[in-house]
Structure 1
């Protein structure tokens, strides 16, 4: 059975974000070209050297102070969440997150992910990490609000002229920013009582902490601006305070653009704000030096520190591991343990950037490749880094081929530095081949269109290559080619086409591949049936719904039932079968998922195997609570269950009766059952639940005992009953009722089913799960619990969460916690969306019940 495809956003939504980024880059490129078109790019290296050691030392000192101030953000945040850590730890987390976030774009997301990664290795709770990230974001915003607001209020006419806005509007904007900062401080001084917002609790910072936020953030922004300011020639420097205001605005524009490092957008905004006061030549040299001092050097240092940190954590994890994965399923990796796929991906990105910037190769050769073509190879290598991080086989092959090709060309041209960099990395990648074992899933037809488009655009790059041999365009690196004097408009277009072609081609190389269609054969189904009959809990009966794949243990005495939705491989329930085979079964399944680049998700599991799931790198989140009635203590007498007794008596007076039907006697009832089911589905827009519940399929219904409720001989409700292999527990699965039937019919059905199970010696009756029930709401609650409680509180118009819990509570059950085991962090909501799609045919089907 083939897996359902993941719903994708519409073409307009898919194209909107890239179009906005491309538009910003295009506007920035046009502006920068007009500003710097008269500059000589060949003199850039000499101009950088001419800055002098004193200026460079001052810029590096300001850079160090800025990053040091950023570590202060984390010091304040840790005090806010009341979690103590030594400076060497939170300083490392802050520096790594800031350096990578500054360079890679989407800095809030990248920085948050890296902070979460580093902090989690030191057992900082997830809820505390979330609050630290939010606190740091507020601190960052406070400083830029002070600078931008203060600058615009101080000189509204000057800022208004630069922004092409009227001075009164600029002054009003500056006043609003300063008012917001003052409001934040007043809120902090108003008391320590937390505030609630739609189910969320927000703690006020202490007054001293809020003042420290504003002061530290302002200092951090000023030191960051000082890096660029000292790199400008002394005679051409504007006054520092107006410059710092312009710098802050330009930096925010770069952050909002989501372009890596704000490249191009930051520079263009700064050019607009500074106007003609700063000579273009001096500004261009200062901007390049600023990028090197504040972005490239800290990134290199952060990469080294991250490698060291990951190596130490890997060594510690190796010492603590008690049950390694089966040796037969772990391919040997011949590179040092510190060279993980993520580290190799980082190295590939660095080599790609190096090649992209170097571009031109010295020395004549029969194959005289232009600087643009070499730069395109560097761009392609840079883009493969993401696939290497994901351990994709296709990315490994593409990276090795590109690096080897650049190495050969660079060696032939006599560029030994480039040849050593790319050749050394390719030699490290070759023995690491077994680590890159993943494919991906769910190919879409547009991949062929993508490949065709890439081929056309690469053809445009070849045109550029041929024209470069005749000396038409300027032979300069890719980033400089659109601005070089010798480049015609057509050739500029070809440069852009070549770059876009490389992007699309690499994306096509990393394309998803469809999971092979799967049909369960008779032998496998017979094996699964035998395991369920011997040792299956009630939930194991879902193996017969016809929508599951199976992963069987090597010994053949245990299995998992699952289905693939998007990137999630969703297992329904805990493993079924011999407990001794469960660890190897789960580890083998997780490795299989990893080979396909998926996410393992164990849905509706209990705490019995929690430690095993955690050993597989999964986090447990509470899904809800299951209501289980102790049949030994169940009775309808007494005040506790008076409502159930009254409902039963009323149903009998209304002429209702109950019948229990053995599986062999279900066939004659199927037409009447179909009529009830169709009426029930029509009321709910025809949406059948799948995967986690049985659907009305005649072959499936024939397998189980039925409880049928009649009123004057007419079938008004029915339900299938699961029984466990050990004859201890009964559970209701598929339930249907006529929409116009008596209101007490389902309560009557459940009461009679519970009494029937008790009479036949069963010890427990499972009423099923109450979703999102019992989630924590205190200040230490995980993020998922907070989201779930928000749905529980405000989602009654979509699903009767509270009503379902109240109905089951009427039987006075014991509540048993159910979990979902899945990758934590941002992957958890995506996994749960995949589960919702699988169960209900989309989120719409889920909320309609």
Structure 2
């Protein structure tokens, strides 16, 4: 609170805001350091003995650290929650420091009331340490209190109740296991003391039911029960600190506004139409002239492509999106923005990395002549000789029965695999609202549908590839046949440019294969080739490169370098490349050396 009549300058308000904004990150780093220190001294006894004086000094003057893995995991969970500005984590930390202040204050007051006892038991050093710790913890408590408005991220609804139920249920399991173990392996513990002793151990020793009990079971029984109870506490805190989930749903009103923005400004970004995915949410700029569409995956607020709308309103839209992410403790990231949008995200404070390149065909200049197009030309000629023909129509020109047949065939060719795509896929086929999309069908000599491509509008004169499917028993070369046919007929639909697949790390594959490439680049390329056994990185690059397209760079924007692993995981989950069944079969497929079959925008 300011003094009466005193005006707070903009500089003072800005400095104070910057100071408070740093508190969550500093608190998170400190808890992470304490967690790492506790883990190291827990698993490395020589280091624990070597750092004994340091540990005692830190405990007496700063913050309690213990050689305990469970405690280290708890501090790690707390650090992650503080980094996400979780309100529940803030209150946990506030209570910890309040208890430390009260404990140190009690020691200091006791020493002033009974100084003779301090001298008799030589406790002067401990009292001095408590005085220092009192000052430190009081300052920290004051800073946390002043920065309370920086911890606004809510936990999931009813998370406190769920955490209590989780804790109670797991402690009950620990108690039951303790009763069984102490019954089977009582050691010197008497039978009447089995249940009370197991209850004490399950509660972590916070209460003693019998001070005069004699005897005890084997030490490993005590350790096993303590471990179960520690796991119970850690799981309960993990439940308490979970991020708020966002409903993956685009309301009809928001979809209509996004469609209007995409129609008016969509020529700038080939991915603009994908903002109408109905498993995304959207946040608009205050003026309503731009919007950022996103989905929350694994605690990451993942935006797709460029903001939709007027470039002049991109900044306010991005800031509104960042405010939404920080309000709920999500890590913000944007997957696949163009260079212009990457600059806009960078101006908003995000870091940017080049992720890969989008393949764009200029329809007017595309042709099959020349040595460099020999592979595509041969594939097209082979399919043409086999009697295949093309049929290209707007979705709106198909009858309901025809569209139903197309969607059934597309679903059958996908098989049991999950639908892939987030940033460059629509996730639906045959919706009446998508009548302006273009369907390319490949028919065999008998007129049977054997493959299809679906493109979404890209402004007034472009198309962006959405879906690629074919019958696995059909002839090879169908995709080349359809892409070349679409490019040849593009003028009839007023189309000048066609966006194909996105090739991650395209420059690495291309540069690493050149003569004279450096050792680092070659090693990076070998690593990506190895990973392509699962995620088709190299095959996507080669499938695009054979058309000799124009390469348009795409980027990844993110807030904190420490979030990169989480952002990467959220990206592959959102794109459909990593699911629970995929995790179970990852090692088995890697042993066979076979990658997954094409789906979504993966060419065959």
TM range (shorter): 0.5 to 0.7
Q: 1:576 offset after TM fit, Å? A: 1.1
The alignment status of 1:396 with 2:90, answered yes or no, reads: yes
Q: Which of 155, 160, 168 is residue 452 of structure 1 equivalent to?
A: 168
Instruction: Note closer, same or farther for the CA distance 1:101–1:722 as it changes in structure 2 (3 Å cut).
Output: closer
The alignment status of 1:429 with 2:140, answered yes or no, reads: no
Q: 1:527 offset after TM fit, Å? A: 0.9
Paired with 1:463 and 1:747, the residues of 2 have a C-alpha distance of 66
Q: 1:590 offset after TM fit, Å? A: 2.1
Paired with 2:40 and 2:78, the residues of 1 have a C-alpha distance of 19
Instruction: Note closer, same or farther for the CA distance 1:472–1:673 as it changes in structure 2 (3 Å cut).
Output: same
The alignment status of 1:292 with 2:53, answered yes or no, reads: yes
Residue equivalent to 1:556? 288
SS of the aligned residue for 2:472 comes to coil
Residue equivalent to 1:606? 338
The alignment status of 1:704 with 2:420, answered yes or no, reads: no
Gaps of 5+ in 2: 1-28, 111-129, 176-198, 584-594, 599-604
Contact 1:600–1:823 (Cα < 8 Å) also in 2? yes
For residues 695-715 of structure 1, give each alpha carbon's deviation from its aligned partner in whole angstroms, at most 9, with x where no partner exists: 453317655121222223222
For residues 53-94 of structure 1, give each alpha carbon's deviation from its aligned partner in whole angstroms, at most 9, with x where no partner exists: xxxxxxxxxxxxxxxxxxxxxxxxxxxxxxxxxxxxxxxxxx
Paired with 2:373 and 2:228, the residues of 1 have a C-alpha distance of 75
Instruction: Note closer, same or farther for the CA distance 1:472–1:420 as it changes in structure 2 (3 Å cut).
Output: farther
Q: 1:743 offset after TM fit, Å? A: 2.2
Q: 1:753 offset after TM fit, Å? A: 0.6
The alignment status of 1:722 with 2:479, answered yes or no, reads: no
Q: 1:513 offset after TM fit, Å? A: 4.4
Instruction: Note closer, same or farther for the CA distance 1:455–1:411 as it changes in structure 2 (3 Å cut).
Output: farther
For residues 242-301 of structure 1, give each alpha carbon's deviation from its aligned partner in whole angstroms, at most 9, with x where no partner exists: xxxxxxxxxxxxxxxxx534248516x99xxxxxxxxxxxxxxxx59x6225x666xx7x
Q: What is the count of residue pairs matched by the alignment?
A: 493
Q: 1:516 offset after TM fit, Å? A: 4.5
Q: Which of 132, 140, 153 is residue 438 of structure 1 equivalent to?
A: 153
TM-score by length of 2: 0.68
Q: 1:666 offset after TM fit, Å? A: 1.9
Q: 1:732 offset after TM fit, Å? A: 2.2
Q: Which of 522, 527, 542 is residue 252 of structure 2 equivalent to?
A: 522
Gaps of 5+ in 1: 1-98, 108-258, 271-286, 301-347, 358-376, 474-486
SS of the aligned residue for 1:609 comes to helix
Paired with 1:637 and 1:804, the residues of 2 have a C-alpha distance of 23
SS of the aligned residue for 1:594 comes to helix
Q: CA RMSD in A?
A: 4.6
Contact 2:413–2:470 (Cα < 8 Å) also in 1? yes
Paired with 1:394 and 1:496, the residues of 2 have a C-alpha distance of 25
What pairs with 1:225-264 in structure 2 (closer than 5 Å)? 260-263=39-42
Residue equivalent to 1:338? none
Paired with 1:409 and 1:808, the residues of 2 have a C-alpha distance of 66
Paired with 2:536 and 2:321, the residues of 1 have a C-alpha distance of 35
Q: 1:385 offset after TM fit, Å? A: 6.1
Residue equivalent to 2:409? 676
The alignment status of 1:739 with 2:472, answered yes or no, reads: yes
The alignment status of 1:750 with 2:529, answered yes or no, reads: no
Paired with 1:688 and 1:825, the residues of 2 have a C-alpha distance of 30
Contact 2:31–2:76 (Cα < 8 Å) also in 1? no
Q: 1:412 offset after TM fit, Å? A: 5.5
Instruction: Note closer, same or farther for the CA distance 1:407–1:832 as it changes in structure 2 (3 Å cut).
Output: closer
Structure with the larger RCO, 1 or 2 (CA within 8 Å, 6+ apart): 2
Residue equivalent to 2:421? 690
The alignment status of 1:565 with 2:297, answered yes or no, reads: yes
Residue equivalent to 1:827? 563
What pairs with 1:623-638 in structure 2 (closer than 5 Å)? 623-638=355-370
The alignment status of 1:544 with 2:276, answered yes or no, reads: yes
What pairs with 1:272-671 in structure 2 (closer than 5 Å)? 291-292=52-53, 351-353=62-64, 387-388=81-82, 390-408=84-102, 411=105, 414-415=109-110, 417=131, 420-439=135-154, 447-452=163-168, 460=200, 489=216, 500=230, 504=234, 507=237, 510-536=240-266, 537-667=269-399, 668-671=401-404
Paired with 1:397 and 1:830, the residues of 2 have a C-alpha distance of 25
Paired with 1:717 and 1:502, the residues of 2 have a C-alpha distance of 53
Contact 1:730–1:757 (Cα < 8 Å) also in 2? no
SS of the aligned residue for 2:566 comes to helix
Paired with 2:81 and 2:377, the residues of 1 have a C-alpha distance of 63
Contact 2:243–2:329 (Cα < 8 Å) also in 1? no
Paired with 1:511 and 1:669, the residues of 2 have a C-alpha distance of 50
For residues 296-338 of structure 1, give each alpha carbon's deviation from its aligned partner in whole angstroms, at most 9, with x where no partner exists: 66xx7xxxxxxxxxxxxxxxxxxxxxxxxxxxxxxxxxxxxxx
Instruction: Note closer, same or farther for the CA distance 1:497–1:572 as it changes in structure 2 (3 Å cut).
Output: closer
The alignment status of 1:765 with 2:498, answered yes or no, reads: yes
Residue equivalent to 1:134? none
Larger radius of gyration: 1
Paired with 1:528 and 1:382, the residues of 2 have a C-alpha distance of 40
Contact 2:337–2:555 (Cα < 8 Å) also in 1? yes
Residue equivalent to 1:228? none
TM-score by length of 1: 0.50
For residues 486-543 of structure 1, give each alpha carbon's deviation from its aligned partner in whole angstroms, at most 9, with x where no partner exists: x9759x9699699949954982684314414353322212111111111123312223
For residues 755-792 of structure 1, give each alpha carbon's deviation from its aligned partner in whole angstroms, at most 9, with x where no partner exists: 1223444332222222332226566969xx965x3354
Paired with 1:803 and 1:408, the residues of 2 have a C-alpha distance of 63
The alignment status of 1:266 with 2:266, answered yes or no, reads: no
For residues 623-644 of structure 1, give each alpha carbon's deviation from its aligned partner in whole angstroms, at most 9, with x where no partner exists: 3222212233233445554554
For residues 399-422 of structure 1, give each alpha carbon's deviation from its aligned partner in whole angstroms, at most 9, with x where no partner exists: 333433454465466248365554
For residues 530-572 of structure 1, give each alpha carbon's deviation from its aligned partner in whole angstroms, at most 9, with x where no partner exists: 1111112331222333221112222111112211111222111
What pairs with 1:12-23 in structure 2 (closer than 5 Å)? none
Instruction: Note closer, same or farther for the CA distance 1:518–1:620 as it changes in structure 2 (3 Å cut).
Output: closer
Contact 1:102–1:260 (Cα < 8 Å) also in 2? no
For residues 773-817 of structure 1, give each alpha carbon's deviation from its aligned partner in whole angstroms, at most 9, with x where no partner exists: 2226566969xx965x33542345435544443343333222222
Contact 1:400–1:426 (Cα < 8 Å) also in 2? yes
SS of the aligned residue for 2:425 comes to coil
Contact 1:641–1:811 (Cα < 8 Å) also in 2? yes
